[in-house]
Amino acid sequence: MKIDSLRTLLEEELKDIYSAEKQLLKALPKMAKKATSPELKGALQEHLEVTKRQVERLEDVFESLGKPAKAKTCKAMQGLVEEATEIMEEDAEDAVMDAGIIAAAQKVEHYEIASYGTVRTWARLVGADEAAELLQETLDEESDADERLTQLAESVVNPQADSGGDGNGSTRSKKSSAKKSGGSKKTGGSKSRR
C-alpha cells in the first residue's frame, strides 16, 4: 500500500502495536508462571492486567481516529517473545532464570516505549489530540513497568542470581564482570553504579 501521509503511517503503526499488545496477552502469563521470585511474578501478573486495559485503550484510539481496530503482525514482538521463550526453556537456577526473564521483559517494555512515544508524537502532530492523550497514558504505564523491573532486578533478583541463589555472596570475578557490563542507565541490572 502507499503510505501517503503521516496520518496513514500512524494508523499503520497502531496496527503493529495492537498486534504487539495482543501477543503479550499470551506471553506474559507464561513469563509470570516461570518466574520464581514472588515480586517478579506479581509484577508480571499485574502488567498483564495493565496490558488488557492497554488493548482496550488502543481500540479507543482507533475509534477516535474513525478507524476499525485492526492488527498487523508485529514481527519485532514475535522475535522478542521468541527470545523470551528460548530463555525460559533453558535450565537455570531460579534467581538466574528470573534475571533472564527480567531482561526479556525489559526488552519488550523498551520496544513498547519506543513505539508509543513515536505514535504519541505523530498523533499530536496530525492533531489527533484524543489519540495522543490515550497513547501518552499507555506510554506512562510502560515506563512504570520498566522502572519496576529495574528496581526488582537491582534490589532482589540480580544479587540473588550473582550469589548462586544461596545468599552466600559472589566471587570477585563474577562481581567485577557484572560491574563492567553497564551500558544503559536504567535497564535491569546493567545500571552502572559509581
Binding site for Fe ion (CB under 5 A): 21, 51, 54, 112, 142
Length of the chain: 194
> Could you tell which of Zn ion, Fe ion, none binds residue 13, using a CB distance below 5 to 8 A set by kind?
none
> Could you tell which of Fe ion, Zn ion, none binds residue 76, using a CB distance below 5 to 8 A set by kind?
Zn ion
> Could you tell which of Zn ion, Fe ion, none binds residue 55, using a CB distance below 5 to 8 A set by kind?
none
Instruction: Specify the residue, 23 or 54, whose C-beta has the smaller distance to Fe ion.
Output: 54
Q: Interface residues for Zn ion in 14-33 (CB under 5 A)? A: 16
> Could you tell which of Fe ion, Zn ion, none binds residue 16, using a CB distance below 5 to 8 A set by kind?
Zn ion
Instruction: Specify the residue, 82 or 140, whose C-beta has the smaller distance to Fe ion.
Output: 140
Among 40, 58, 61, 74, binds Zn ion (CB under 5 A): 74
The Cα 123–Cα 46 span in angstroms is: 28
**Which cell is 8 given?**
496513514
Among 50, 55, 69, 76, binds Zn ion (CB under 5 A): 76
The Cα 176–Cα 194 span in angstroms is: 13
Give the per-residue contact string, 112-151, with Zn ion (x = CB under 5 A; - = no): ----------------------------------------
Contacts of the segment 64-69: beta carbons below 8 A, 24+ positions apart: 64/128, 64/130, 64/131, 64/134, 65/10, 65/11, 65/14, 65/128, 65/131, 67/11, 67/14, 69/18
Going by C-alpha positions, the residue among 135, 146, 138, 141 that lies closest to residue 108 is 146
Q: Give the HSE-up count for residue 5: Cα atoms under 13 Å, Cβ half-sphere.
A: 6
Instruction: Specify the residue, 18 or 95, whose C-beta has the smaller distance to Fe ion.
Output: 18
Please report how close the Cβ of residue 114 comes to Zn ion at its closest, in angstroms.
9
The Cα 57–Cα 53 span in angstroms is: 6
Instruction: Specify the residue, 51 or 158, whose C-beta has the smaller distance to Fe ion.
Output: 51
> Could you tell which of Fe ion, Zn ion, none binds residue 142, using a CB distance below 5 to 8 A set by kind?
Fe ion
- The amino acid at residue 59 is E
Instruction: Specify the residue, 6 or 169, whose C-beta has the smaller distance to Zn ion.
Output: 6
